[in-house]
Amino acid sequence: MMSPLIAKEESVGNNQLGIATLEMLIAMSLMVLVISAVLPLVWQGQSLPVDSQTEQEALYKALTLLENERAAAKMDFNLVNPVAQTTDGIYQKAVNVSQVDFYTKKVTSNLGWTEGGRNLTASLSTLITNPTGYSSGNTCSSILSGNWKNPQKTDYEFGKDIVGDASSGFPITDVQAHENKLYVTVNNSNGNNSPTFFVLDISNPAIKPPLLASVDNDPTVKAGLNAVAVSGNYAYVANGNNPNFATCTTCGQLQVFDISVSTPVLKTTFKVPGVTGKNGQSIGSSIFYSNGYVYLGLAKTLSGSEFNVIDVGGGGLPASPTNPVWKGGYPVGNAVNKIFVKNNVAYLATPNTENLTLVDVNVASSTFMQRIAGYSPAGGSNGEAVTVIGNRTYLGRTFGSNEFYILDTSTPSGGIPVIASKDIGTGSDNSINDIVIRDSLAFLITNAKFEVWNISDTANIVPWTTSGSSSDFLDLPGGSGTAIGCEGNYLYVGSLPASNKGYISIITSGP
């Protein structure tokens, strides 16, 4: 028989063995838990250098995208536009651009990629401003929004709906949108003789624009104004009055309005020296403003220069908006229908065989006012419209074999290669009277239509309509488009039917 003491000791020994086994099981369980928690950390620790390297590469690519936009802005603020998503190795990259105000854009570069089952992103943002925007008067946004395949248009008969005078024509010759106002000129040789210069409120483009002010540039004559350029506190207008410029003393092709006051005040009338002509010759026909200089185009002169550079403050005192100083002229030999100036080069659209003429307008250059290049398209059409974005010049002509041209003017002193040309249709209604370029779209007005063309693929310029057909372009109210202005995502078109009752059309993108 076993001793009770021994039995007790054995019992105690078995308990100690059980406790030791239990402790081992607990310890092993804890080790499993610890190992389960530690292993992911180890693997994550091994991936950290990879993530860091990838993120650094992503940030570098995002920064490069921003630098590309900054470089584009130096060439032309209108080239700062969104970039659609593309694939770059493991990355999906894109650029978003939004308009902060008329002269500032917010640019954001975005990259996305997948790593270890995780979706990762990197973004950088910056603000890009247009330092010349305020002085140039350009408040059109190059950023496209909405559905421009289905533009929405509202028409107003200018006399009846805007001015409150249904009996008079008010033939619209030019419009410019600038900082929530629309400046309109009329040449009233076939309409009412007063007023000739109008200011409209377009702060809310969704409603009929209220008339803020109207004045007559010269109550003693029936003729009015042919063109307007606005900058800061002044509006520079091309006078359509047609006296005998060889003998008149108070006449002038350039007039300057102070628009800082509620009712614009005519401050000066300037006659271009050395110019003669009468009965429609030598009158002001086109105008452009840039960096303190007015570039004035005249109808064909009897003698003297049709293209003129006038200092209104760009060269310092004594020149000022109220004291214009003529710097020089270039004899085109024909009317100057439209002017665009960029980097001290003037791009002139004329009825000459050389529809596009480039002239040096750098007043500090020894070649000032010398022709430096030109382009002569095939056919007998006239150059009617011109605008420049970056290194590309867009030329519109009267009806012919091709009415729309995209030209490479990256080296203005050399030849002018044709990037693309387009026959926009048959018949005289397809003459191009004005052009606005916004990103990948060209907005044209013709003798009958408002047209939108996709120019992203210059080898295949196509109508930007829902159906893809030019038959869906918008009709202008009653007749010929005369001028197109732009502010933000809205376009303002002046048109003139055969009745000489001018219209303003406000056009924006559809839903």
Average pLDDT of span 100-124 = 94
Structure tokens at 166: 């249904």
Beta-strand pair 441-446/432-438: antiparallel
Average pLDDT of span 419-432 = 94
CA 328, chain centre distance (Å):
29
Residue 13 lies in a domain: no
Domain boundary among 131, 160, 176: 131
Answer yes or no: do 122 and 160 share one domain. Answer: no
Residue 58 belongs to domain spanning: 48-131
Strands across the sheet with 147-157, in order? 147-157, 503-510, 490-497, 479-487
Average pLDDT of span 385-391 = 97
Answer yes or no: do 176 and 247 share one domain. Answer: yes
Q: What is the pLDDT of residue 18?
A: 43
pLDDT greater than 70 at residue 157: yes
Q: What is the pLDDT of residue 137?
A: 80
pLDDT greater than 80 at residue 5: no
Answer yes or no: do 392 and 473 share one domain. Answer: yes
Q: What is the pLDDT of residue 123?
A: 94
Q: How do residues 308-343 score in pLDDT, each as one tens digit?
A: 999 999 999 999 999 999 999 999 999 999 999 999
Beta-carbon contacts of 88 under 8 Å, excluding residues fewer than 6 positions away, are 61
Structure tokens at 444: 């044209």
Percent of the chain with pLDDT over 70: 89
Answer yes or no: do 199 and 71 share one domain. Answer: no
Q: What is the pLDDT of residue 176?
A: 97
Percent of the chain with pLDDT over 90: 79
Residue 30 lies in a domain: no
User: How many domains does the structure of the chain reveal?
Assistant: 2
pLDDT greater than 60 at residue 120: yes
Q: What is the DSSP string of 150-210?
A: EEEEEEEEIIIIIIS-TT----EEEEEEETTEEEEEE-GGGS--S--EEEEE-SSTTSPPP
Average per-residue pLDDT for the chain: 89
Q: What is the pLDDT of residue 38?
A: 35
Answer yes or no: do 455 and 329 share one domain. Answer: yes
pLDDT greater than 50 at residue 364: yes
Query: What Rg do the C-alpha atoms of the chain give, in angstroms?
Result: 34
pLDDT greater than 50 at residue 1: no
Residue 320 lies in a domain: yes
Answer yes or no: do 395 and 356 share one domain. Answer: yes
pLDDT greater than 60 at residue 163: yes
Residue 176 to residue 493: CA distance in whole angstroms: 10
Its pTM stands at 0.89
**Residue scoring higher pLDDT (33 or 395):** 395
Q: What is the pLDDT of residue 210?
A: 98
160, HSE (Cβ side, Cα atoms, 13 Å): 9
Q: How do residues 227-238 score in pLDDT, each as one tens digit?
A: 999 999 999 999
Q: How do residues 131-154 score in pLDDT, each as one tens digit?
A: 887 777 889 999 999 999 999 999
Residue 20 lies in a domain: no
Residue 224 to residue 197: CA distance in whole angstroms: 8
Q: Residue 265 is part of a domain; what is its CATH number?
A: 2.130.10.10
Domain boundary among 131, 161, 179: 131
pLDDT greater than 70 at residue 48: no
**How confident is residue 159, by pLDDT bands cut at 50, 70 and 90?**
very high
Choice among 35-49, 182-196, 330-344, 379-393 with the minimum mean pLDDT:
35-49
Q: What is the pLDDT of residue 190?
A: 61
Residue 10 lies in a domain: no
